A = this chain, B = another copy of it.
Amino acid sequence: MALVPLIEYDAASPAVRAVYDDIMATRKVPAVNNFWKALANDPANLARVWADVKSVMGAGALDPLVKELLYVAVSVTNNCEYCIHSHAAAARGKGMTPAMFDELLAVVALANATNRLANGYRIDVDAQFRDPVPR
């Protein structure tokens, strides 16, 4: 029950098609998923978000699979149904096994629990954790 129509490739403007083409080429997929078809209602935002995703999720200091796992962990914490499904699929495509997904959820559950214990007891940060971190 999307609040906006999904823009299919054939009906897209040249600017939107250019983003779709880059998504498909970068990800080696034959079509873009609904997220992009919804964002295409706002071509400037489509281009901006895709540029961010391409830049942030690509190769870097962290493994691409690890980045997808982080994405799933945030999406589960926020309860974004669409994002859980799409990024779990992306993570599986990059090698996430069922056992890895199970462990991810166990960590996310534990972190959400202990976050509330630390906040609820208002525990002061230990001095050694406050030390400046050299760069």
Contacts and interface: CB of A to CB of B under 8 A. Distances in A.
Nearest to A82: B118
Contacts of A126: 33-34, 85-86
Report, nearest first, the 3 A-B pairs whose CB atoms are least far apart.
Answer: A42-B102, A74-B111, A61-B99
Contact of A107 (B70, B85, B111): B70
Interface of A: 1-5, 33-35, 38-39, 41-42, 44-45, 48-49, 51-53, 55-57, 60-62, 66-67, 69-89, 92, 97-126, 128-130, 132-133, 135
Given A48-B52, A62-B107, A78-B79, 13 more contacts: A42-B105, A48-B55, A57-B110, A61-B99, A62-B69, A74-B111, A77-B77, A82-B118, A82-B124, A83-B118, A89-B129, A105-B120, A112-B115
